[in-house]
Structures are given as C-alpha cells and as structure tokens.
Amino acid sequence: MRVLCLVSLCCASPLSAQNGDPSDDAGVRVFTGYRFHLNAVALLDDDERFNWDADYGGDIDVVDFGVGRFIFLANFEAILGEQFRRFDVNQGNYILDGTITYRLGSTEIGGTFHHISRHLSDRRKRFPIDWNMVGMQVWHRVDIDKVHLDLGARAYGTTKRSFVDYTGEFGGHARLRYRLKERLSLIASADAVHMRTDTSVAGRSGISGGSIEGGLRFDRDAVALELFVALEKRVDAAPLDRLPRTWGMAGFRLLSRD
C-alpha cells in the first residue's frame, strides 16, 4: 500500500511545506500552517483487487515555537477493486503521526511517532493489523530561480506491532518542481523505502519498495492540481498476503498551495 512505501504516508512530503515562515516571528503560536491533499489514481494491474487508489488527509502545525514546531498528521487511503461490484472498496488504511521538529535554516529535523492500521472492507477479519514506530525525519528545501526541490529521509524503529513482521523502516524521497510559467510547472519525484523484518514471523529478511513519478502542476489561487503518471513497487499490497506488487498509475492530486 502507498502508506507503507511513501508515508507520507502518502502522502507527498507534507512536512516539507509551510504556509508562511513562522520562524520569522518571536514567541509561541498555535495553528500556524496546514497542508492537505486529495489523490485519486487508476492502477494498471491485472488483479481484480487493485483497480483504484484514493487517499486524502493533511497535517497541521499545532504549535510553533520559533525554532521548531509540533505537527499532527492524519491520512486515510482506500483501495478499490471489482471483485464484488464495479467499485468495490476492499481496503481502508490509516496513518496518524505526531512530529516535533527543530529548524536549522532550510533544513528541519524531527522526532516522530508513527502509527499505521490496515482494515478490510466488506470482508471478514477479526484480528488487528497495525504497528507503531518511533524515529527521526530530516527534510530540506531548495529554491533556486524556477526550481523548487524537496529532499527528505527517515529512520524508524517498531515499538509495537500486530500481525506484521516489520521491525524498522528506512526511507527517503526527492521531489522536483520546475516552473514553466507563473501557474504551470513540471513535476518529478522518486521515493524509496526498506522495511526491516523479523524473520521468525514470515521468514523474510527485509522488503523494499518505491516509486517514480512525473507530470504537470497547475497552480490556482488556493489549490494546486497535479496530473501525473507513476510506476510503483508497493510493499505488501494486500494486508494478508505479505507480497509486493508493481503497477503503473495515472491520476490527479489536489493540494493546498505552499
């Protein structure tokens, strides 16, 4: 699922964007910035469980204390197939994150509590599939003339898990936006993730995934629209299978402007 591969998520680097620059003002402030996204993509896969992927969510700067901030993130992802009906929602996946950061110029370092839970829709499952992780994130922004670049990396260790065999996670991303006109940009991104595993659970010694993406971004007054195509290797695409899948993707994304 995308929340495993991108964390971010899903989520498209929400921690790297800010509304304004709170570090310019002294003192502690609350609710100083927010970012949201709404994604919908068609999945090019011959498995009838995987036809569409939709997710939405956002994060908010709850408290900004000048040299850093506390960020709360929530995201929901739905996977749709056509096993029982034309649009059959078979998965619901949730992310909840809390991050406390420290600013170092255009670089930001954060300590994160990360929770993911996975659920089946219209299908029987009595046991939980979820896990908690704690770790660090770092991300960096570069703005040079027409180029905007977001870079990020993360390292988490698992503190609690149900059903899954994950003991840790390492990942990173790079997202490029090149402005062609005032409200039109080229976009490109790459993400990678490696999940460390407990071999005693399912005999796996680790699993990796990631994605590459390209498209166009149209900026309006309050919202940006991105149209994109992508290729993704998704870690454990179905909650019970413990198998990755690779598929093509084409879709759109609505974002609050940064």
Show the domain range for 149. 2-256
Q: In 10 A of CB 116, how many CB atoms?
A: 24
Q: Which pLDDT value is given to residue 27?
A: 85
- Distance, CA of 164 to CA of 204 (rounded, Å): 11
| pLDDT level of residue 106 (50, 70, 90 thresholds) | very high
Domains in the chain: how many in total? 1
Amino acid identity, residue 133?
A: M
63, 71, 139, 153, 164 from 68: Cα distances, Å = 9, 10, 13, 18, 33
According to DSSP, the residues that pair with 160 across neighbouring strands are 132
| Predicted model pTM | 0.89
Query: Which among 182, 14, 255 is positioned nearest to 6, based on CA atoms?
Result: 14
Give residue 7's identity as a one-letter amino acid code. V
Q: Is residue 38 packed enough to be buried (19+ CB in 10 Å), middle (13-18) or exposed (0-12)?
A: middle
Structure-block tokens of residue 155:
């390292």
- CATH number at 133 reads 2.40.160.40
Most confident of 21-30, 121-130, 164-173: 164-173
Joined together, the tokens standing for residue 160 give 């609690």
Mean pLDDT of 221-240: 96
Residue 55 above 80 pLDDT? yes
The string of pLDDT tens digits covering residues 113-130 is: 999 999 999 888 889 999
Query: CB under 8 Å to 132, separation ≥6 — which residues?
Result: 113, 114, 115, 158, 159, 160, 161
* Confidence band for 217, pLDDT divided at 50, 70 and 90: very high
How confident is the model at residue 166, as a pLDDT? 98
Burial class (CB in 10 A: 0-12, 13-18, 19+), 196: middle
Q: With 0-12 CB in 10 A as exposed, 13-18 as middle and 19+ as buried, what is 112?
A: buried
Statement: residue 155 has pLDDT above 60: yes
- Torsions phi, psi of 126, nearest 5? -95, -15
**pLDDT at residue 25, rounded to an integer:** 54
